[in-house]
Amino acid sequence: MADRSGERGDAERLEAEGEVATARIALADGDLTHAARHLEDALARDPGLPETHEALAEFAARAGGAAKALDWFEPEKRAYIGTVAARGHLCAVAGRWDEAVALLAQCAGHEPDRPWLDVAWLRRPGIAELVDPDTVARAAAGVAPRLPDPVDEEHRAPLTPLLDLVRASVGRHPGHTMLLWCGSTLARRMGRAEDAVAWAGRSYDLEPCHPAAVMLGYALRSAGRPEQALDVWRGEVRRDPSDLDLYIDIAELLQTLGRPAEGLEWAERAAAADPDHPKARPAAHALRHALDGDTRHLVALADHLRGAPDHEYAGELLARLGRGRPWLNWIPGGNEAIVSLLHQALEQSVAADAALGLTVSALEPPSALLALRTAFPRASLDVQDVPEPDLRVPPRPVTTALWTYEGTTARPAVRPPSPEAAEAVRRVAWHGWPHLPAAYDDAVVLSGLDPVDLLGVLVHPPAPRDDALGRALAAQAPDLWIRAVQVWACLGLAHHRTDEPWAASRRRALLADVLAGAEDWVCEAAALAIVATAWVDPAAREDAARLVARRLLDALEARKTRVVTLTWSLCHLALAAPGVIPEVAALAADVLRAIETADAIDAIDAIDAEDTEDASEAQAPA
């Protein structure tokens, strides 16, 4: 739910006050039509402004009473939330309580974070006696599905009047089954699990209908009684096996209980009953992933979403399963010694113009030094050694080089991008996304840029955006901004001439060159773009897996004699590549496990070199 506090809320209130002032001028001139429009606008901008309600009362008096004033507010002619709200309030003044509650609930369902329901007449004693329980039930049923489950406690206040009305109505109509199960839905989402259980349970006892059973299961689940929820839902499926959504609810609940194999059976039953069900196959893919952790199930989810973009559940699952996973959901930071020194200097509030003199034991990727000099332009670096294999030399021949070296000093080998291209990447670059297909899709706005400009962005990154988040990155993590820019530039390259088949395309040639170039963060960025392309283009999958695996094997070969800071990322990227061969996947997983142990260096050195050789032999030529 949105947060309208602070500056935005103040601006909305000022705008609403201006609309009320204009409405009063129109009223003084007898122009009720224009006054009505400005009052609607005032309500739309700030539903809780007291002056708006006072002006509505003045409007009703001028119109000859609230009932006659309704003629100026007709939602069927003017589909506008301010019109609906104004009519609702006037209905309350006219004593048309059912319509008043229904209209304000409609507003709250549309914008549940705003105080549409926080009005005196809805809090008056005895309001439940004036409103039909059917109306209250429908109001709860209209609002509840639009809410998070549960609503954060700090966001519940605007909805509390409706829950209070439900509770009072239940007290007056304890046998109204629809009110009970509809009210249970609202109570559950408002964090009142025990009320939800009590109301849905009473409804089910009085009339064991399908909605009551479903809502009782939800309530029991929210109250921390999942086994009881399963019993209720399984019993309802035996009674009425037609609701395939309930099969998915059961499958998800079994997964949360650590029983994904049982959950998969339910998802597969739903898919067998209706192969086109929007949740059945996605749920099955997610449960298979829970069983073995294989990325191919996430790719299958992506394929499902591509084939049925209206199946939002598949996208939700894809985002949920990738959440927190490097490269699938976010760009990890660099792990070089230079980056560590950079962060130490930032934490110690070293002045940006300080002439920092740093020493590192071995040459590191040039983008790490670029990040350092972004924050500290006068920084100097003393490199004590260039261990073999030399990271300045690409492990494989490339046509396009991004860096050139003078001794240990790297300089961009391509021209800076045009200002327009730099700004385009600057606008879209960020360090996270819901899932890989979403990142790929968002980068389509870069498809029209000259690839030479995008290559330029990789080594001449623009400054962070001039907003709160951009300034925070500049002050706290300039390295992460550079990595984000590089990733999005490569995603832009992935959109170049997408009408060309991947294997013979220029986009493939450019990304393969960046990936295979001198050891640098841009290699990780290119690998991410290649993997993202494979997620959305099955024709690219085998080649993409081969390209990323080869770069990983090159890194692991170099890792035998020196530190390769890209290793961790390349392992994750190889595992994310659809169709990665089992030998490479196993090797990447072994390396990650070794890195994540306390004695990471010793563990990595202990990995059998024969594993690397086996994977290299299994890897087909690029």
CA distance 44 to 36: 12
Over residues 124-128, mean pLDDT: 93
Nearest CA to 515 out of 567, 485, 551 is that of 551
CA dihedral 606, 608, 613, 615 (to 10 degrees): -100
Residue scoring higher pLDDT (73 or 1) = 73
Tell me what the mean pLDDT of segment 147-162 comes to.
94
What is the predicted pLDDT for the residue at 10?
82
Give residues with Cβ within 8 angstroms of 145, minimum separation 6: 185
Least confident range of 37-41, 390-394, 402-406, 593-597: 593-597
Express each pLDDT in 515-563 by its tens digit.
999 999 999 999 999 999 999 999 999 999 999 999 999 999 999 999 9
- For 358-404, write each residue's pLDDT tens digit: 999 999 999 999 999 999 999 999 999 999 999 999 999 999 999 99
Kind plus residue range of the DSSP H or E element containing 618: helix 609-618
Output the pLDDT for position 610: 55
pLDDT, one tens digit per residue, over 233-242 is 999 999 999 9
Q: Cβ distance 402 to 458 under 8 Å?
A: yes
The whole-number average pLDDT for the span 61-76 is 95
Tell me the residue range of the domain where 334 lies.
328-622
Q: Which amino acid is at 24?
A: R
- Among candidate residues 75, 95, 115, the one where a domain is terminated: 95
Q: What is the pLDDT of residue 602?
A: 52
Q: How far apart are CA 530 and CA 487, in angstroms?
A: 11
Query: What torsion do the CA atoms of 322, 325, 326, 331 make, to the nearest 10 degrees?
Result: 60
Identify the burial level of 32 via C-beta atoms within 10 angstroms of its C-beta, where 0-12 means exposed, 13-18 middle and 19 or more buried.
Answer: middle
At 358, which helix (H) or strand (E)?
A: strand 357-360
The amino acid present at 105, given as its one-letter code, is A
- Of 69, 95, 121, the position where a domain reaches its end is 95
pLDDT mean across residues, the chain? 94
Report the first-to-last Cα separation within the chain, whole angstroms.
48
Do the beta carbons of residue 147 and residue 158 sit within 8 Å?
Answer: no
Contact 545, 579 (CB under 8 A): yes
- Quote the pLDDT of residue 7: 61
Residue 209 lies in a domain: no
Residue 621 has pLDDT above 50, yes or no: no
Give the DSSP per-residue string, 407-435: TTEEEESSPPPPHHHHHHHHHH--SB-SS
Is 227 inside a domain boundary?
A: no
Q: How confident is the model at residue 596 (pLDDT cuts 50, 70, 90)?
A: confident
Beta-carbon contacts of residue 312 (< 8 Å; ≥ 6 apart): 278
CATH of the domain at 54: 1.25.40
- The predicted pLDDT at position 78 comes to 84
Question: What tens digit of pLDDT does each residue of 239-291 get?
Answer: 999 999 999 999 999 999 999 999 999 999 999 999 999 999 999 999 999 99
- 360 beta partners: 383
* 565, pLDDT greater than 70: yes
Q: How much is the pLDDT for 1?
A: 53
537 is a domain residue: yes
pLDDT at 79: 86
Instruction: Tell whether 419 is covered by a domain.
Output: yes
**In the structure, what pLDDT confidence band is assigned to residue 609 with cuts at 50, 70 and 90?**
low
Instruction: Report CA-CA distances (Å) from 413 to 143, 351, 391, 400, 458.
Output: 58, 30, 16, 9, 11
Specify which residues 406 forms β-bridges with. 409
How many independent structural domains does the chain possess? 2
**3 state DSSP class of 341:** helix
Is the pLDDT assigned to residue 600 strictly greater than 80? no
For residue 191, the one-letter residue type is: G
| Burial class of residue 89 (count of CB atoms within 10 Å of its CB; 0-12, 13-18, 19+) | buried
311-340 tens-digit pLDDT: 999 999 999 999 999 999 999 999 999 999
Domain final residue pick, 36, 65, 95: 95
| Residue 119 forms part of a structural domain | no
Residues 6+ positions from 187 with CB-CB distance below 8 Å: 163, 166, 193, 195, 196, 199, 219
Percent of residues, the chain, with pLDDT higher than 90 = 92
In a domain, 608, yes or no: yes
Read off the pLDDT of residues 465-524 as tens digits, 9 standing for 90 and up. 999 989 999 999 999 999 999 999 999 999 999 999 999 999 999 999 999 999 999 999
Predicted TM-score (pTM) of this structure: 0.86
| Residue 89 maps to a domain | yes
Look at the chain and count its residues. 622
The position carrying tokens 């349970």 is 201
